[in-house]
């Protein structure tokens, strides 16, 4: 059953567009760290199954400096 899934990441603020490009049409929520160096990002997107979730995290793992939560 399709449902909303929250993908959560932490990345250097100057690389956040790379995360947004993973799911361009996802709903975005971002919060910058106090010193501005890092941004925590939540992308909310409708997924059809668990393999779609794994696929997105696999793509994210190739982005330098990303932390997937």
* Average pLDDT of the segment spanning 26-32: 97
**pTM beyond 0.85, yes or no:** yes
Closest CA to 30 of 64, 6, 60, 54: 6
* Average pLDDT of the segment spanning 17-33: 96
pLDDT of residue 34: 96
């Amino acid at each position: 059953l399709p449902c909303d899934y929250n993908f959560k990441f932490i990345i250097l603020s100057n690389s956040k567009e790379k995360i947004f490009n993973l799911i361009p049409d996802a709903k975005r929520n971002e919060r910058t760290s106090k010193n501005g160096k890092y941004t925590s990002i939540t992308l909310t997107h409708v997924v059809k199954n668990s393999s779609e979730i794994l696929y997105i995290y696999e793509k994210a793992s190739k982005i330098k400096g990303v932390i997937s939560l």
